[in-house]
Amino acid sequence: MPQRAATAQPLKRAEKKEVTRQQLIAATVDSIAASGFAETTLHKVSARANVSRSLVNFHFESKEQLLVATLRHLTEEYRTFWMKAISRPGLSAAGKLNAIVDADFHPQVCNRKKIAVWYAFWGESKSRPTYMEVCARADSEFARTMEELTAAVVGDGGYAVSPAVAAKGLRCMIDGLWLELLLAPATFEREAAKRTCRTYLASLFPRHFDMPAAAAPAAVPEAQAAAGGER
């Protein structure tokens, strides 16, 4: 049951090219997560993608451009994910903040492999301004959106806190919780991370968020048993 069942098998040339391109980017993500930034070579990437080594320089002019494309892919995936999460109709500002928290710890964007790649790029960003620019551009959009949401909540509830400060606190807390998944995967719990964020929101905006109950002792029947054992 191939996906293109209707139009018959043959991949058009342009399509196949794009598929290979995406394979290379996916292989780069895998390689950075598995071998780190320093030891990610075009040899390893092309081997993972099952293509010849020289193909990388054909699709991307250089290794550096492959890395930039990979970072762009990552930011774009993240962007569409949280945007979709808050686009559900009938969601209040508080509901959207809750949706962002859920999205940010969803296994699709928050798993050790992708977090490792994020941190690898961040670690290189000081020496490669291009990365910094790509990240900053994505972050600023996320920050602006979140500030609009906190501003709506503050306005609605008459809270004294600055919306910008509240939003920044939540954003930073999320980034830090990601780091916990990276450095202490054994103790990281998705639900606990969300609870940490919601505790923050409930203490800032008590009339819009409920203070989470104490930890349910790991008996939560969460659909967390994802594929592959890696979280």
Partner DNA sequence: ATTTTGATTGAACGGTCGTTCGACGTGTCG
Partner DNA sequence: CGACACGTCGAACGACCGTTCAATCAAAAT
Max CA distance (Å), the chain: 62
Q: What angle do CA 184, 39, 129 make, to 5 degrees?
A: 85
Binding test (CB under 7 A) with DNA, winner from 37, 47, 57, 180: 57
Find out whether 100 and 110 touch, Cβ atoms under 8 Å. no
**Minimum gap (Å) between residue 58 Cβ and DNA:** 4
**Minimum gap (Å) between residue 19 Cβ and a second copy:** 27
Interface with a second copy in residues 180-209 (CB under 8 A): 180, 182-184, 192, 195-197, 199-200, 203-204
Number of residues that bind a second copy (CB under 8 A): 56
Cα 28 off chain centre by: 16
Binding test (CB under 8 A) with a second copy, winner from 25, 94, 116, 154: 116
Closest to DNA by CB, 9 or 187 = 9
Position 44 contacts a second copy (CB under 8 A): no
Position 33 contacts a second copy (CB under 8 A): yes
At position 57, the amino acid (one-letter code) is: N
Q: How far apart are CA 151 and CA 153, in angstroms?
A: 5
Find out whether 100 and 194 touch, Cβ atoms under 8 Å. no
Contacted entry of DNA, a second copy, none for residue 129, CB cut-off 5 to 8 Å set by kind: none
Closest to DNA by CB, 5 or 218 = 5
Q: How far apart are CA 216 and CA 165, in angstroms?
A: 30
Q: At what angle do helices 63-86 and 13-35 cross, to 10 degrees?
A: 90
Identify which of 72, 172, 171, 60 has the alpha carbon closest to the alpha carbon of residue 118. 72
Residues that bind a second copy (CB under 8 A): 33-40, 112-113, 116, 119-128, 132, 135-136, 139-140, 160-162, 165-166, 168-169, 171-177, 179-180, 182-184, 192, 195-197, 199-200, 203-204, 211, 214-215
